[in-house]
Structures are given as structure tokens and as C-alpha cells.
Amino acid sequence: MDRHPHGKNQVLKPEDLTESFEPIVGQSVTLRTLRREDIDIEGSFLRGLSPETRHNRLLGGMIQITPEYLERLTTIDFKRDMAIAAALMLDGREVLIGVARYVLDADGRACEFALVISDAWQGRGIGRRMMEKLISVARNRALQQMHGEVLSTNSYMLSLCRKLGFAFGRNPDDPTVTRIVLKLS
């Protein structure tokens, strides 16, 4: 992977980010970068989300889970962006239970993040572990800020972001959305 133009002269390879851990309850979870070959399990993961989780993740919007959409989600330019998957083995096959990602802003100094955890695995510390990893990668790349938008009714995500040190603000264009920002440097 090439060095980020604003980086700390450290090159992170996708394989360097793999780790396994035991969540609060449940079996061992592996955090690793999302790969192009994950297209099928990413589709299964998204289709398995509850309507409420989809609503929270997409700020109330609905999406069609098309092959093109899945290809876009699993084709990551790791020189600019990052996507971390939480995976585990169930019945002899790997399944995704969460994805955390950021996309670099046009100026190359900040990024927008997103996080979604499978309903059955929420509240077990997986989202926090994924966000800590995502924040660490962004800091390693010397990004100055991470930001996102969260539905004001998504109390779990707002609580997690508060614990991680994000500052909160209102979106003047949409009072149902809270804008969150974390200074990284």
C-alpha cells in the first residue's frame, strides 16, 4: 500500500490489520479488512439486518442490494479508504457480523465513517472494537478528523461515539440527524 500523502510514513497493509478477540458474549470474532471476494457474504450480511438496523445505518433511506451495490461496497481502494469486517465461523462457513468503514474526504485530511453490526451481535463490544481499530488506522495515516451523521434516535450509536470522544452537533438541514466529529490529531 502506498503511503498516504498526509501519512506518518507508515505503510499499513490490509493483512496487518487482522486480529481475533472474544466479545462480551459469544465465540471468537476476527477483525480483518473487507475483501472483494466477500461480495456474497456481504450481501447475506446486509439482507440479514433488521429493518430498524437498516433504517439507522442508512439514515432512514432504503437501498436496493444489487450486485453493483455490493461490488462498490467490497471494492476498497486501501490507499485512500478503509473497510474492516467482523467475521466468525458458523456451521463451517465464514459469516460477516459487522462492517466499519471510512471514506477519505476530497481534501485528504478527514474521513467520513460508517458502522453497522448484525442485530444478534449488537451490545457485545464488537462495534467499539471495530471503531477503535478504524480510528487507529485513520490516526496512523495522519488524518486530522473523522466525522459522520447519526439519526438522533439511534441512542446506541450516539452512546458509543460519546464514549469514543466524538463531539456532537446538529445538522442544520435535518434536525433528525446528529453530526459527530472526532479530532484525530
Q: Which domains does the chain have, with CATH numbers?
A: 15-142 (3.40.630.30)
pLDDT at res. 158 = 97
pLDDT at res. 8 = 47
Burial class of residue 8, CB neighbours in 10 A (0-12, 13-18, 19+): exposed
**Cell of residue 62, nine digits:** 432504503
pLDDT tens digit at each of 185 positions of the chain:
333 444 444 555 666 777 777 777 778 999 999 999 999 999 999 999 999 998 888 766 677 889 999 999 999 999 899 999 999 999 999 999 999 999 999 999 999 999 999 999 999 999 999 999 999 999 999 999 999 999 999 999 999 999 999 999 998 999 999 999 999 98
If residue 147 lies in a helix (H) or strand (E), which one and from where to where?
Answer: strand 145-151
Alpha-carbon span 145 to 138, nearest angstrom: 8
pLDDT at res. 9 = 40
pLDDT at res. 57 = 83
DSSP 152: T
pLDDT at res. 63 = 77
DSSP 2: P
Whose CA is closest to 183, among 84, 81, 125, 109? 109
Q: Distance from CA of residue 3 to its chain's centroid?
A: 21
Whose CA is closest to 44, among 77, 103, 90? 90
Count of CA atoms in the C-beta half-sphere (13 A) of 151: 15
The residues near 24 (Cβ < 8 Å, ≥ 6 apart) are 123, 124, 125
Alpha-carbon span 105 to 119, nearest angstrom: 29
